[in-house]
Amino acid sequence: MVARRRRLVVGNWKMNGDRAANAALLQAFLAERVGDEAEVSVCAPAPYLVQVSTLLEASSIAWGGQDCSSHESGAYTGEVSAAMLAELGCRHVIVGHSERRALHAESDVFVAEKAAAALRHGLVPIVCVGETLAEREAGATEQVVARQLAAVTALLGTDIDRVVVAYEPVWAIGTGRTASPEQADAVHSFLRDRLAEASAGSDAVRILYGGSVKADNAAQLFARPHIDGGLIGGASLKASEFAAICRAAAKTSTHGVASP
């Protein structure tokens, strides 16, 4: 039997926005009144998290960071600690996004250390995994995502139950090329099995799909049995588009299984 997990939709604004645009975007999104059948979160650039928290604190929408340091504090110029994000009321933090793995040479172990730092401070890490186009074409998708996830399960042990996993094929991010629901679901099913091997309590862990999710493809993706929601980049910058994606997730959501 496939467990039904409450759907989670997370917006990743990446390095976009300014004070005026953020306020307009969130006010327009709140006016859409998407309801709370699905959990919704917005991961904003760190300098705007105070503004975002002020705009969202009276709503059911959560917020989070896009990265955190693996260190607690100290001489790490430019880094943002998990404790700082927690103090700003963040619920989530994205770790291991493919842009950081590629542009900042973040290794699987380094990403795992960031996830551990997030958990130490009560944040839910959203651990991104995914293969490049060359890796997919070489038939290495499962090998790559298994390796990326294994680094996290090895460090966290049964604390893997407290994370969210996001499968984001690199070739689908920001390209307009989405994995088909069947392609995505197959990888999610594979990841679900790896999670189950790592921890008997991992059933509540949500596995999000990310990569060119839009209002017009979200429903088919979220209808798949192993897809528990989405990590949304470009479309999270348009209030009506993001709201439509959240509504699509809500239609398949349930409060039945408590998830981190």
Q: Where along the sequence are the contacts to ligand PEP (CB under 6 A)?
A: 12, 14, 168, 173-174, 210-213, 231-235
Amino acid, res. 63: W
Residue number, 68 or 198, with CB nearest to ligand PEP: 68
Residue number, 83 or 215, with CB nearest to ligand PEP: 215
Catalytic residue (choose from 168, 188, 226, 241) = 168
Taking each helix axis from N to C end, the angle separating 19-31 and 49-56, rounded to the nearest 10 degrees, works out to 30
Strand partners, 92: 64, 124
Distance of CA 192 to the CA centre of its chain: 16
- Catalytic residue at 168? yes
Residue number, 148 or 212, with CB nearest to ligand PEP: 212
Distance of CA 170 to the CA centre of its chain: 14
Residue number, 123 or 234, with CB nearest to ligand PEP: 234
Q: What are φ and ψ of residue 184, in 5° steps?
A: -65, -45
Ramachandran category for residue 31: left, alpha or beta (phi over 0 → left; psi -120 to 50 → alpha): alpha
Residue 140: strand, helix, or coil: coil
User: Whole-number minimum distance, CB 214 to ligand PEP, in Å?
Assistant: 8
What gap in Å lies between CA 202 and CA 206, rounded to an integer? 9
Amino acid, res. 36: D
Q: What are φ and ψ of residue 183, in 5° steps?
A: -60, -45
Number of residue whose CB is nearest ligand PEP: 233
Neighbours of 139 (CB within 10 A): 8
Residue number, 190 or 242, with CB nearest to ligand PEP: 242
User: Whole-number minimum distance, CB 166 to ligand PEP, in Å?
Assistant: 7
- Catalytic residue at 71? no
Residue number, 9 or 235, with CB nearest to ligand PEP: 235
Catalytic residue (choose from 97, 106, 113, 241) = 97
User: Whole-number minimum distance, CB 258 to ligand PEP, in Å?
Assistant: 25
Residue 10: strand, helix, or coil: strand
User: Whole-number minimum distance, CB 199 to ligand PEP, in Å?
Assistant: 25
User: Whole-number minimum distance, CB 28 to ligand PEP, in Å?
Assistant: 19
Give yes or no for a contact between 13 and 237, defined as CB atoms under 8 angstroms apart. Answer: yes
Amino acid, res. 90: C
User: Whole-number minimum distance, CB 236 to ligand PEP, in Å?
Assistant: 7
Q: What are φ and ψ of residue 95, in 5° steps?
A: -130, 145
Catalytic residues: 97, 168
